[in-house]
Structure 1
Amino acid sequence: MPLRRRELILSTAAAPLAAHAAPRRLRLPLVAPKAELARSYAAMLLEQALAAVGMPVILEPTAELIPQNRALQELGRQARLDVLWTMTSIEREQQAQPIRVPIFKGLYGWRLLLASPEIAARLRDVRTLEELRRFSLVQGLEWPDTGILQGNGLNVVVSPSYDAMFKQLRLGRADAFPRAVEEVWWELERYGQGLTVVPDICLHYPAAVYYFVAPEEAELAAAIERGLMRMRASGAFDKLFMEHLGQDLARAKLGSRRIIELSNPLLPPQTPLHRPELWYRP
């Protein structure tokens, strides 16, 4: 988008709407089973960001779970979906319009490993990427993380079913399941019978979860971006981030773990890695 047009759209998005304006309904995909979507961090951040630029909204999640790739395809089609949030990749940014503010501050690139206690005892001593390649890691069929791990030469067992991944660990068909800090403790409690979080180590690769909208929704994209930037400037962004994720971060103790750094061959060149204030570092 030309710079002057982008500035005009951002300026328009910043103008407060009339106090009596009817809330806009935004259809969102239910992409994960964790908690009620309306109370999730990403949904609340979206709602507050748009409120910050005078756009009241009502968030309407789908009744059924929708895989991430299918959700991207359905953005803007017959008003099926309006907004979703997911990890970015070069391919995904060709399908939909990203709002390039990493809403989890890169936290989805910080990965702890779920494994059986026996495998965890072996994994905790891993010190290099080469040593990690001796183990098999399970991931989802359509997940960008699958390509990231494979791009680093790791042995990846691909599964089409979320529930099946935990069973594969228990059955010994894969050694470990890398999970984001925001996911791992919740999953351990609900699906992790017989499993544990591997101590002492973590994986890290640059990764951004963005809001995405349909390519033709330039004004909505500009409103979301402007609202997020206002929340960052006021401190409301970081406050909400810590309210929802601070406990998980404290439990993960990333600063005391040995970090195995991976590259991300799927990361678009426009990713704002040059702006450290947008990213979490332990």
Structure 2
Amino acid sequence: MSLCRRNFLLSAAGASLASAQAAPRRLLIPRVSARADLMKNYAAVLLDQALAAAGLPVTLEPTPELIPQNRALQELGRHSGRLDVVWTMTSVEREQQARPIRLPIFKGLFGWRLLLAPHEVSERLREVQTLADLRAFSMLQGLEWPDTGVLQANGLRVVVSPSYDAMFKQLRLGRADAFPRSVEEVWWEHDRYGQGLTVVPDVCLHYPAAVYYFVAPDDDELAAAIELGLHRLRTTGAWDRLFLKHHGDDLARARLGSRRVLELHNPLLPKATPLDRPELWFRPQG
């Protein structure tokens, strides 16, 4: 489908949505983190602004309980009615469960990884020059996280944990050497859980990774509205401004342009990922 035809269809869908929705639509989203309240959450704010830009007024309502990412996608896939939108890192398997809107909402930030490690391991890790050097260390990851498969596919030793809250204690106890965390996560986690841990200087990992909004497989109306709204926010520059408002301080603190970047491949990335559109992805300035 040509870009012009796609834009025409999206605009038509947006007009239909605007006329069809007299009252705000209630959208159920997962409570996936203990972090800041809903309207300080970047993905929630971006979703709200995108749907407003598409002419679909909504109210976002998080679930009372935390829902793991895989279970949230399963809820979408089986039309349980418990969720309407989920945002999470994509993979081939996940795109078979639910419908992705293929615009990376974090501009690939979840593929830029800094290493959280005990102080006594940090000095050795900062001297790592190559991926082969890194294979001498063990990496901590979550049981069902796509990143686990990415690290393993690159020959890294991975220690898997089923409990996020326990992972920082496991790291302090020496059960793994480092915990690769995204630029978007690592500073908050270090401030909250990082006693005895440090963010390793001078080095970082990078692999292509996209976090998308997902909806139920047959929710054409909502999928069209989200895509249309994101395109409109990107065109006006509102998306970039929101991105920098929420992530600019973390990126400045990370100094990615001055770090040694270890590139990893991501075999879990679907072929339809828009890697050929550089305007959708963050790249550090050297």
1:158-173 to structure 2, matched below 5 A, reads: 158-173=160-175
Identity of aligned residues (%): 73
Please give the alpha-carbon distance, in whole angstroms, between the structure 2 residues aligned to 1:19 and 1:97: 22
Worse overlay, 113-122 or 29-38: 29-38
TM-score (normalised: structure 2): 0.94
How many residue pairs align between the two structures? 282
Please give the alpha-carbon distance, in whole angstroms, between the structure 1 residues aligned to 2:48 and 2:134: 40
Please give the alpha-carbon distance, in whole angstroms, between the structure 2 residues aligned to 1:222 and 1:123: 45
User: Secondary structure of 1:77's match?
Assistant: coil
Please give the alpha-carbon distance, in whole angstroms, between the structure 1 residues aligned to 2:13 and 2:51: 9
Aligned to 1:52: 53
**Could you say what the CA RMSD is over the residues aligned between the two structures, in angstroms?**
2.0
Aligned to 2:243: 241
**Which residue of 63, 84, 100 corresponds with 1:98?**
100
* Residues 1:280 and 2:286 are matched in the alignment: no
CA contact (8 A) 2:21 2:56 kept: no
CA contact (8 A) 1:115 1:175 kept: yes
User: Using a 3 Å threshold, how does the CA distance of structure 1 residues 117 and 74 change in structure 2: closer, same or farther?
Assistant: same
User: Using a 3 Å threshold, how does the CA distance of structure 1 residues 90 and 103 change in structure 2: closer, same or farther?
Assistant: same
Residue 95 of structure 1, CA deviation: 0.5
Aligned to 2:14: 14
Please give the alpha-carbon distance, in whole angstroms, between the structure 2 residues aligned to 1:171 and 1:10: 52
- Which structure 2 residue ranges, 5 or more long, are not aligned? none
**1:189-231 superposed Cα distances (whole Å, 9 cap, x missing partner):** 1011110000000000000000000101012101100100000
1:82-161 to structure 2, matched below 5 A, reads: 82-161=84-163
**1:173-204 superposed Cα distances (whole Å, 9 cap, x missing partner):** 00000000010000001011110000000000
**1:244-276 superposed Cα distances (whole Å, 9 cap, x missing partner):** 000000000000000000000100000000000
User: Runs in 1 of length 4+ with deviation above 6 angstroms?
Assistant: 3-8
Please give the alpha-carbon distance, in whole angstroms, between the structure 2 residues aligned to 1:200 and 1:212: 35
1:214-233 to structure 2, matched below 5 A, reads: 214-233=216-235
Aligned to 1:256: 258
TM-score (normalised: structure 1): 0.96
User: Secondary structure of 2:195's match?
Assistant: coil
Aligned to 2:71: 70
- Which structure 1 residue ranges, 5 or more long, are not aligned? none
User: Secondary structure of 1:203's match?
Assistant: strand
Aligned to 2:31: 30
